[in-house]
C-alpha cells in the first residue's frame, strides 16, 4: 500500500492548490477531488512512484503552467485520469482515445527560409527529446545510472561524422565561466530550475550531465537535463530547411545506435507530458523591441489563436530582454514531426506582422 504520509501530502496539496487564487496550472484545474480519491492509493509497478511524485512540482511551485511530471513511463497509464485531461488541454485536443501518429520526419527540402532577407528572425532552433529505453526517468535514476548514461551517450556521439562531428563536454569539471557563456549564448540548459528540482529531477547534479556540440554549435545534444537527451539543431537566421534538415539527419543517425522509449498511443515518452509525441519544439527568436505591455498581451492572444507559445529570451519562464521573443509550436501530439516543425513558419509570419504593427 501507499505510505499514509504520501496520501496526506496529496490531500494537503489538493487543498493548497484549491486555496490559491494566483495558481492557474493545468494541475489545479484537473486534479479534482474525484481524481485525488481515485489515484491517491496507487503506485507504479516497477518503481513504486505515487501521485505525490507526479504533482509535487506543481504543488511546490504554484506559478507552474502545467505542474506535473511522469516519475516513470508507467505513470502515464497508472495516473492517466490526471495526465490524460492535461495532455488533451495542452496538446490542442489530443483525446484519451486518440493515437499519436508514427514518427514521420518527412522531407526537409520542402521547407524554405522564413526570413530570407534577415529582417526579423534572429535565429531558428528545432529540438526534440528522447528517453533511453535502458534507463528510468530522472526521479528514479541512481548516481550509477547517470554515469552510465553519460558514457553511453558520449560514446555513441563519438561516431558522428561530417557536419555532426563534435565533442562532448561534461558539466562536471566545466568552469562556471564557460558554463555561463554557453547558457547566455542559448546553447546550454540552465542550472537550478526549481520546477525540475521539486520533481526530483536534479539529483546528483552535475553528475552525468553535459553537452555535445559540433564546432559551429549548430548541432547540439543535451545530456541528463529534463530528458535523457535533447537533440538540437540551430543557427542564425530563418532557414528552417537547413535547421530541420540537420535535425532529421542527426535523429536518424542516433536512432541507428540507440533504443528510445516509445509508446503506441503517446509517441516518444518524455518526463514532462507537454513534450510527448513528436517532442518537437520548433522556435524562432524574433526582435520586437518596441512592444509595449499591451502589445505583449496582444501578441499572446495571437499566439493562442495560432496554437503558438511565447517564451522570453532565455527560454521557458524567462522575460523578453531587449524585446527578444521565442515563438514556437505549442502542441507536440497528434501531428507529425514535419507538421510540428512547419508551425514555426506561422510563428515567424505572425512576428513579421507584429513587427510592422508595432512601429
Ligand atoms: P527547450 O526548448 O529545450 O524546451 P528552453 O525554453 O529552456 O528549453 O530553451 C532552451 C534554450 O534555447 C534557451 O537558451 C533559449 O533561449 C534557446 N532558444 C530557444 N529558441 C531559440 C532560437 N530560435 N534561437 C536561439 N536560441 C533559442
Ligand atoms: C510548469 O508547469 O510551468 C513547468 N513544469 C514546465 C512545464 C512545461 N512547459 C511547457 O509549456 N512546455
pLDDT for 355 = 66
Task: Indicate which residue of 311, 332, 343, 355 is catalytic.
Answer: 311
Q: Higher pLDDT residue, 115 or 254?
A: 254
pLDDT digits (tens, 9 = 90+) for 150-171: 999 999 999 999 999 999 999 9
- In this prediction, residue 359 has a pLDDT band, given cuts at 50, 70 and 90, of low
Ligand nearest to the CA of 240: 1
CA 311 – ligand 1 centroid, Å: 9
Arithmetic mean of pLDDT, 107-126: 93
Q: Is 281 a catalytic residue?
A: yes
Of the pLDDT bands very low, low, confident and very high (cuts 50, 70, 90), residue 358 is low
Active site residue 127: yes
* Alpha carbons 313 and 317: distance in angstroms, whole number: 10
Kindly give the distance from the C-alpha atom of residue 133 to the centroid of ligand 1, in angstroms, as a whole number. Answer: 26
Ligand 2 atom with least separation from CA of 195? 5
- Active-site residue flag, 311: yes
Q: Kindly indicate the confidence band of residue 357, based on its pLDDT and cuts at 50, 70 and 90.
A: low
Confidence of residue 109 (pLDDT cuts 50, 70, 90): very high
* pLDDT given at position 348: 76
Per-residue pLDDT at 208 exceeds 70: yes
* pLDDT, the chain, mean: 95
Q: Is 32 noted as a catalytic residue in this protein?
A: no
Contact between 47 and 74 (Cβ < 8 Å): yes
Residue 197 CB coordination number (10 Å):
15
Q: 108-357 sits in which CATH class?
A: alpha beta
Q: Is residue 344 lining ligand 1, measured as CB closer than 6 Å?
A: no
Q: What are the domain boundaries of the chain?
A: 4-90, 108-357
In which residue are the cell numbers 535523457 written?
228
Confidence check: pLDDT of 139 > 90: yes
Give the nearest ligand 2 atom to 317 CA: 3
**Whether 11 is catalytic:** no
**Ligand approaching nearest to the C-alpha of 221:** 1
Dihedral pair phi/psi, residue 283, rounded to 5°: -130, 155
- Number of helices followed by number of strands (H, E) in the chain: 12, 10
- Whole-prediction pTM: 0.97
Report strand pairing: 219-223 vs 210-214.
antiparallel
Ligand 1 centroid – CA 11 distance (Å): 36
Mean pLDDT lowest among 5-19, 160-174, 338-352: 338-352
Residue 346 pLDDT more than 80?
A: no
Catalytic annotation present for 125: no
State residue 309's pLDDT score.
Answer: 95
Quote the ligand 1 centre to 264 CA distance (angstroms).
28
Element (H, E) at 45: none
Q: How far is the CA of 100 from the centre of ligand 1 (A)?
A: 25
- Average pLDDT of the residues in 7-22: 98
Can you say how many angstroms the Cα of residue 326 is from the centroid of all Cα atoms in its chain? Answer: 14
The backbone region for 340, taken as left when phi is positive above 0, alpha when psi lies in -120 to 50, beta otherwise, is: alpha
Q: For 271-323, how does the pLDDT look when each residue is reduced to its tens digit (9 = 90+)?
A: 999 999 999 999 999 988 888 778 888 888 889 988 999 999 999 999 999 88
User: Is 319 an annotated catalytic residue?
Assistant: no
**Separation of 315 CA from ligand 1 center, angstroms?**
5
Q: Which residues line ligand 2 (CB under 6 A)?
A: 57, 64-67, 195, 272, 274, 316
**Apex 282 CA angle, 280 and 287, nearest 5:** 155
CA dist., res. 355 & res. 359, Å (int): 7
Ligand 1 atom with the shortest distance to the CA of 315? 6
Task: Kindly give the pairing relationship between strand 210-214 and strand 324-329.
Answer: unpaired
Residue pair 31/18 in contact (Cβ under 8 Å)? The answer is: no
For the record, the C-alpha cell of 259 comes out as 533504443
| Model ipTM value | 0.98
Assess contact for 188 and 222: CB atoms under 8 A.
yes
CA 137 to chain centre: 14
Could you say which architecture CATH assigns to the domain 4-90?
A: Orthogonal Bundle (1.10)
Nearest ligand by distance to the CA of 271: 2
What share of the chain has pLDDT > 90, as a percent? 87
Longest dimension (CA), the chain: 63
CB of 234 within 6 A of ligand 1: the answer is yes
Q: Which ligand is nearest to the CA of 315?
A: 1
> Which candidate in 124, 274, 278, 336 is catalytic?
274
pLDDT of residue 69: 99
The pick from 66, 194, 329 for probing ligand 2's pocket by mutation, whose C-beta has the most ligand atoms within 8 angstroms, reads: 66
Atom nearest to 68 CA in ligand 2 = 5
The finding on whether 316 has its CB within 6 A of some atom of ligand 1 is yes
Place of cell 502589445: 295
Q: How far apart are CA 105 and CA 86, in angstroms?
A: 26
Amino acid at each position: 500500500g501507499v505510505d499514509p504520509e504520501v496520501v496526506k501530502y496529496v490531500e494537503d496539496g489538493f487543498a493548497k492548490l484549491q486555496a490559491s487564487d494566483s495558481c492557474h496550472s493545468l494541475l489545479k484545474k484537473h486534479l479534482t477531488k474525484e481524481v485525488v480519491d481515485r489515484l491517491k492509493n496507487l503506485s507504479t509497478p516497477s518503481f513504486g512512484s505515487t501521485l505525490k511524485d507526479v504533482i509535487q512540482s506543481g504543488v511546490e511551485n504554484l506559478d507552474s503552467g502545467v505542474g506535473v511530471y511522469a516519475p516513470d513511463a508507467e505513470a502515464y497509464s497508472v495516473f492517466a485520469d490526471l495526465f490524460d485531461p492535461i495532455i488533451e488541454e495542452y496538446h490542442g485536443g489530443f483525446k484519451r482515445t486518440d493515437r499519436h501518429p508514427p514518427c514521420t520526419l518527412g522531407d526537409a527540402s520542402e521547407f524554405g527560409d522564413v526570413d530570407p532577407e534577415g529582417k526579423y528572425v534572429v535565429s531558428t532552433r528545432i529540438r526534440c527529446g528522447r528517453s533511453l529505453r535502458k534507463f528510468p526517468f530522472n526521479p528514479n535514476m541512481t548516481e550509477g545510472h547517470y554515469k552510465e548514461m553519460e558514457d553511453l551517450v558520449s560514446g555513441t556521439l563519438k561516431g558522428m561524422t561530417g557536419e555532426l562531428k563534435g565533442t562532448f563536454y561534461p558539466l562536471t569539471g566545466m568552469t562556471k565561466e564557460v558554463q555561463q557563456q554557453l547558457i547566455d549564448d542559448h546553447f546550454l540548459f540552465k542550472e537550478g530550475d526549481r520546477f525540475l528540482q521539486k520533481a526530483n529531477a536534479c539529483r546528483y547534479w552535475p553528475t552525468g550531465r553535459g553537452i555535445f556540440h559540433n564546432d559551429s554549435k549548430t548541432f547540439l545534444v543535451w545530456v541528463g537535463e529534463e530528458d535523457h537527451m535533447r537533440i538540437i539543431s540551430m543557427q542564425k537566421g530563418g532557414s528552417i530547411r537547413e535547421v530541420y534538415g540537420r535535425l532529421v539527419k542527426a535523429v536518424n543517425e542516433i536512432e541507428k545506435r540507440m533504443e528510445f522509449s516509445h509508446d503506441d498511443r503517446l509517441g516518444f515518452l518524455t518526463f514532462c507530458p507537454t513534450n510527448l509525441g513528436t517532442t518537437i519544439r520548433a522556435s524562432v527568436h524574433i526582435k520586437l523591441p518596441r512592444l509595449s505591455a499591451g502589445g505583449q498581451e496582444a501578441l499572446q492572444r495571437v499566439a493562442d489563436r495560432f496554437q503558438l507559445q511565447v517564451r522570453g529570451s532565455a527560454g521557458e519562464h524567462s522575460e523578453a530582454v531587449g524585446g527578444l521573443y521565442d515563438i514556437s509550436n505549442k502542441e507536440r501530439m497528434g501531428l507529425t514531426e514535419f507538421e510540428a516543425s512547419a508551425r514555426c513558419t506561422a510563428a515567424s509570419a505572425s512576428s513579421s506582422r507584429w513587427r510592422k504593427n508595432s512601429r
